[in-house]
């Protein structure tokens, strides 16, 4: 089969308890992202899962059949079991791509993969947000493909430095906010055979996942994170040639 198998993991808690969020995302935050991704070239399938699904949407069957997972969570990071967080971590180390969105910076899989606290500074300006400019700082990076010099968001939640992450292997976006802060808003890391992309825009009460450029960055991130080699440790194991064959 050609094309990528995507799993959109969505916590799905805000959508159940907040009318405001339901109004912005009647189809859920994950549903909105999935609906966009499934129309993009090179994507074979998009599966939407939520925290309250069987196995928290993270069964072995799902993980083994996912090339790239996107992750949106906020209120219930602690509800994701350690066992499942470890499974996601291990899948990434074995080649699965992971695109972590917005408040997913505090999710268990992301923090495990980073090894740091992952906290940041934030401000939800009268819950209406403030202006953000998401500047492309690496125009030649594949994740910046088709993205203008900067993406302007009229209303966004401020995420600011210091962001407690390891130095990104590649930094693609830096955001500026009306309040004066800056933030490393698009960061790439390699972990084992896998790749991780973090992208910060996407507060639940603001319609950010309808912005065509933001969606395109998520899609580009999925493509960048996609496994480039067969996964599951093809390079590993005991390679033990007789000594005379080496030299
Ligand atoms: Zn938020």
Q: How far is the CA of 22 from the centre of ligand 1 (A)?
A: 15
Average pLDDT over the chain reads 94
pLDDT reported for residue 43: 97
Q: How far is the CA of 75 from the centre of ligand 1 (A)?
A: 10
Q: How confident is the model over 15-27, as pLDDT tens digits?
A: 999 999 999 999 9
Q: What is the mean pLDDT of residues 216-234?
A: 82
Q: How far is the CA of 72 from the centre of ligand 1 (A)?
A: 10
Q: How far is the CA of 102 from the centre of ligand 1 (A)?
A: 7
Q: How far is the CA of 202 from the centre of ligand 1 (A)?
A: 7
pLDDT reported for residue 125: 75
Q: How confident is the model over 83-102, as pLDDT tens digits?
A: 999 999 999 999 999 999 99
Strands (E), the chain: 4-10, 43-50, 68-72, 97-101, 121-123, 130-136, 150-156, 158-160, 170-177, 182-191, 194-199
Q: How far is the CA of 104 from the centre of ligand 1 (A)?
A: 9
pLDDT reported for residue 207: 97
Q: How far is the CA of 103 from the centre of ligand 1 (A)?
A: 6
pLDDT reported for residue 240: 64
pLDDT reported for residue 67: 96
Of 41-45, 217-221, 235-239, where does mean pLDDT reach its minimum? 235-239
Half-sphere exposure of 11 (CA within 13 A, CB side): 24
Q: Which residues hold their Cβ within 5 A of ligand 1, which is an ion?
A: 103, 157, 203
The DSSP 8-state label assigned to residue 62 in this structure reads H
Q: What is the mean pLDDT of residues 72-83?
A: 98
pLDDT reported for residue 128: 83
């Amino acid at each position: 089969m050609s094309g990528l198998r995507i799993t959109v993991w969505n916590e799905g808690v805000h959508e159940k308890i907040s009318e405001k969020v339901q109004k912005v995302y009647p189809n859920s935050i994950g549903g909105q992202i999935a609906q966009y991704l499934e129309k993009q070239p090179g994507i074979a399938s998009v599966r939407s899962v939520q925290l309250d699904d069987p196995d928290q949407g993270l069964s072995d069957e799902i993980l083994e059949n996912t090339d790239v997972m996107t992750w949106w969570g906020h209120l219930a990071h602690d509800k994701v079991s350690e066992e499942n967080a470890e499974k996601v971590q291990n899948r990434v180390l074995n080649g699965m791509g992971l695109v972590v969105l917005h408040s997913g910076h505090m999710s268990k899989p992301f923090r495990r993969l980073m090894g740091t606290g992952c906290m940041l500074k934030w401000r939800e300006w009268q819950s209406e947000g403030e202006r953000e400019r998401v500047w492309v700082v690496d125009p030649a990076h594949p994740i910046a493909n088709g993205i203008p010099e900067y993406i302007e968001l009229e209303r966004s939640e401020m995420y600011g430095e210091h962001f407690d992450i390891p130095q990104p292997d590649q930094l693609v976006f830096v955001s500026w906010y009306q309040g004066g802060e800056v933030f490393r808003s698009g960061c790439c890391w390699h972990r084992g055979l896998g790749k991780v992309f973090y992208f910060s825009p996407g507060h639940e009460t603001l319609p950010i996942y309808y912005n065509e450029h933001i969606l395109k960055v998520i899609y580009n991130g999925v493509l960048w994170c996609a496994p480039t080699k067969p996964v599951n440790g093809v390079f590993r194991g005991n390679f033990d040639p007789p000594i005379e064959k080496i030299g």
